[in-house]
Each structure stands twice: as C-alpha cells, then as structure tokens.
C-alpha cells in the first residue's frame, strides 16, 4: 500500500513476536526471506544487503532497536536514501507487523523518532509544521 | 521509464517524506501557484515555504517560472509518474518479501 508517499504494509503472522523478531534480526534468516546480508541488530551497525534487480545493492545502518517491538534502519544505495521500519505487536493470532519504507528526510526523522509511540500521525505532522516556523 | 536510482527519483522520494512538502505538492496538483498562495494555508513562514520549494525543485518535482516579479511553481508530471512507478515497484518488492517471510516462518517455526 502507498500512503502519503510511503510504502506501508500491515501483515499478520501466526507466530509470536519473539519469533518474528528473530527472523528480522538474524542474518542467516534474513538471507533466506529478504536478501543476503551481514546484518547485526546493534544501533550504529553498518551492513549490506545484496539486492536483486529491484533495489540493487543496499548499504544499511541500524538506527533503532527495541526487541521485539521496533526495528528501524537506514537503507541507502542505488535506491536513494531511505528508512525502513518494522513495528511488531502481539495479536490474538500471533503477531501484527507493520512495515514502513519512506524517503530519508533528516528533520522529519528526528521528530518521528521521538514521537513514534502512541502519537496520532496527523497531530505529529501539525506539531512538526508549527516547529518549522 | 527512468532507471531505479536515477538521482531524481531517490531525491523525490526523500522530498515527499516531509508533510509540508506533501501539502505543497497536493496544492500544485490543481495548477501552478505563487509562493504567497502556497504559503497562505500552511502553518509555516513564507521563507520556510521557499526553502521547501527549493528542495522540491532540486528533486525535480517542481519547476519555477518568473512572471514579472512573481515566481510561480508548477508540478512536473513526468516526475510524478516516475515516482509513482518507483513506489509501485517498492510496494511489490515488500509484498513479495513479506510473503516470503510467512513461508519461511511456516517452514522453520
């Protein structure tokens, strides 16, 4: 789905969050379902993803790690400068995963980092606008 | 179709990551406008709007024309098509990857 110029996907998995989280941070597992990688879930860690025809090679940097709830990384390379965020929450059937892939905007990103949890998107956008004056 | 990674597409993706710039792009969808008209409904100063327009121009989404002393801005439809196409490609990429994740979890619970 494309929402506000970002790619957003919401998916439910019949597995607990801790299991889904492991698949997001273990390099052997990532290499199976995502792309070959040397990923390590540590803030500041730089990694590569051997992309296919769609994304080319990706240089990544881990921005935020909060197991098993939130993982945010910068993905850069031929695809440009972007941010990928996985948010996990427990659900009746297992795990609800929200994936958001957006363009990198330095100023916008700082506020979104701080106000991610529990804030209504519209409100935080208005707040950003006021602070922009 | 522009290639993935052509500077303008990746710049455009970053440009629309900002909510004020998305509002400017939305406003320009109904036709070219001056800075004053664009700034009027926005909760930011006119210089801030000019700065956002500079980012949008740098990303190839908007062009500027001088009409006397006024500057008028217009969307570049080719850029919008390029970015829509890029977003579709990215959308499909993630559909496929997240389905592959489901398969992987099923095989190795």
Residue B18, pLDDT score: 87
Residue A49, pLDDT score: 96
Residue B28, pLDDT score: 94
Residue B95 with chain A: CB contacts under 8 Å: 9
Between CA B87 and CA A119 the distance in angstroms is 25
**pLDDT in 10s for each residue of chain A, 133 residues:** 888 889 999 999 999 999 999 999 999 999 999 999 999 999 999 999 998 787 889 999 999 999 999 999 999 988 888 999 999 999 999 999 999 999 887 654 554 554 444 444 444 455 555 555 4
Residue A118, pLDDT score: 41
Residue B87 with chain A: CB contacts under 8 Å: 2, 5, 7
ipTM: 0.81
Model pLDDT for residues B55-86, shown as the tens digit of each residue? 999 989 999 999 888 899 999 988 888 888 88
Please provide residue A96's backbone torsions phi and psi, each rounded to the nearest 5 degrees. -105, 125
Is-contact B73 B35, C-beta < 8 A?
Answer: yes
| Contact with chain A for residue B47, Cβ under 8 A | no
- Asked if the Cβ–Cβ distance from A11 to B102 is below 8 Å, we say yes
Separation of first and last alpha carbons in chain A = 32
Which of A30, A34, A54, A57 to mutate: most B Cβ within 10 Å? A54
Separation of first and last alpha carbons in chain B = 41
* CB crowding A73-92: b at 16 or more within 10 Å, else e: bbbbbbbbbbbbbbbbeeee
Structure tokens at B107: 């095989």
Residue B3, pLDDT score: 47
DSSP letters for B71-100? EEEEE-HHHHHHHHHHHHHHHHHHHHHHHH
Residue B1, pLDDT score: 40
Between CA A113 and CA A83 the distance in angstroms is 11
């Amino acid at each position: 789905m494309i929402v506000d110029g970002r790619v957003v996907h919401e998916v439910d998995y019949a597995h607990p969050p801790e299991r889904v989280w492991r698949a997001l941070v273990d390099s052997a597992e990532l290499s199976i379902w995502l792309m070959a990688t040397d990923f390590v879930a540590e803030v500041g860690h730089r990694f590569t993803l051997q992309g296919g025809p769609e994304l080319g090679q990706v240089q990544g940097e881990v921005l935020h790690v909060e197991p098993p709830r939130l993982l945010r990384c910068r993905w850069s390379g031929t695809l440009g400068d972007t941010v990928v965020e996985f948010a996990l929450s427990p659900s009746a059937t297992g795990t609800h995963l929200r994936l958001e892939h957006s363009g990198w905007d330095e100023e916008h990103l700082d506020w979104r980092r701080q106000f991610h949890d529990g804030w209504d998107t519209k409100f935080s956008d208005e707040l950003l606008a006021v602070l922009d004056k | 179709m522009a290639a993935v990674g052509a500077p303008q597409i990746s710049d455009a993706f970053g440009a629309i990551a900002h909510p004020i710039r998305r509002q400017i792009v939305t406003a320009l969808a109904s036709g070219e406008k001056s800075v004053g008209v664009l700034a009027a409904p926005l909760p930011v100063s006119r210089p801030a709007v000019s700065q956002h327009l500079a980012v949008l121009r740098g990303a190839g989404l908007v062009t500027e024309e001088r009409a006397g002393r006024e500057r008028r801005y217009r969307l570049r439809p080719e850029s919008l098509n390029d970015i829509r196409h890029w977003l579709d490609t990215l959308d499909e990429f993630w559909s496929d990857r997240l389905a592959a994740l489901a398969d992987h979890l099923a095989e190795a619970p």
